Amino acid sequence: MSKNTGNTMIAVLAGVLVGAGIGILYAPDKGSKTRKKVKDGYDDAKSDVTGKFDSVSTKLSNKLSTAKVDLEDTYQDLVSNMSHKTEEVISFLEDKLSHLKKQNAKLQK
């Protein structure tokens, strides 16, 4: 979550709390009805925040899983490429060794 998104969420939550406080002060209903409305509002807000948190958590988890798979694939590609390069170097060195052995055999005659 970015810093701006976090600040926005805090501002919205603060606005909700201030609005609820003002609503309680000017409520025309009896205390029991007002408390029920506040509790219902709290439950709704809690449910909304929990749902958003779960959504963000799921998205983050999916992105991390995808990144892990991508990293594993990249690692496997790197290992495969290095293996091919190693084979090329070994073949080159074997050719050079063979050439040097032939030159050495000519010199020993």
For residue 27, the SS3 value is coil
Residue ranges covered by each domain of the chain = 3-108
Query: Would you give the DSSP letter of residue 26?
Result: T
Q: Which of 106, 44, 36, 79 is nearest to 27 (CA)?
A: 36
Rounded Cα–Cα distance for residues 40 and 28 (Å)? 17
Which pLDDT band holds residue 3 (cuts at 50, 70, 90)? low
Q: Which residue has the higher pLDDT, 108 or 5?
A: 108
Place of tokens 């439950």: 43
Place of tokens 């050439």: 99
User: Structure tokens of 77?
Assistant: 């590609």
What pTM does this model have?
A: 0.44
